[in-house]
Structure 1
Amino acid sequence: MSDLKQFIKNCAQQHPDEFKDFDKEYAAFKLGVLLKQARSEAGLTQEDVAARLKTTKSAISRMENHARDIRLSTLERFAAAVGRQLSVTLK
Structure 2
Amino acid sequence: MSDVEPYIQKRQQTDPEFADGFESGYASFKIGVLLAQAREEAGITQSELARQLNLNKSTISRIEHHAEDVGISTLEKYANALGKKLIIEIA
TM over 0.5: yes
Unaligned runs of 5+ in 1: 5-17
TM-score (norm 2): 0.74
Q: Which amino acid aligns with 1:69?
A: D
Structure 1 residues 8-60: Cα deviation after superposition (integer angstroms, max 9, x where no partner): xxxxxxxxxx96x6544000000000000000000000001101110000000
Unaligned runs of 5+ in 2: 6-18
User: Corresponding residue for 2:80?
Assistant: 80
Runs of 4+ in 1 over 6 A off after TM superposition: none
The count of corresponding residues between Structure 1 and Structure 2 is: 74
Amino-acid identity (%)? 49
User: Corresponding residue for 1:45?
Assistant: 45
Q: 2: CA distance between counterparts of 1:24 and 1:85?
A: 26
Which one has the bigger helix percentage? 2
TM-score (norm 1): 0.74
User: Corresponding residue for 1:57?
Assistant: 57
Report the secondary structure of 1:59's partner residue. helix
Q: Which amino acid aligns with 1:29?
A: F
Aligned-pair RMSD on alpha carbons?
A: 1.7
Structure showing greater Rg? 1
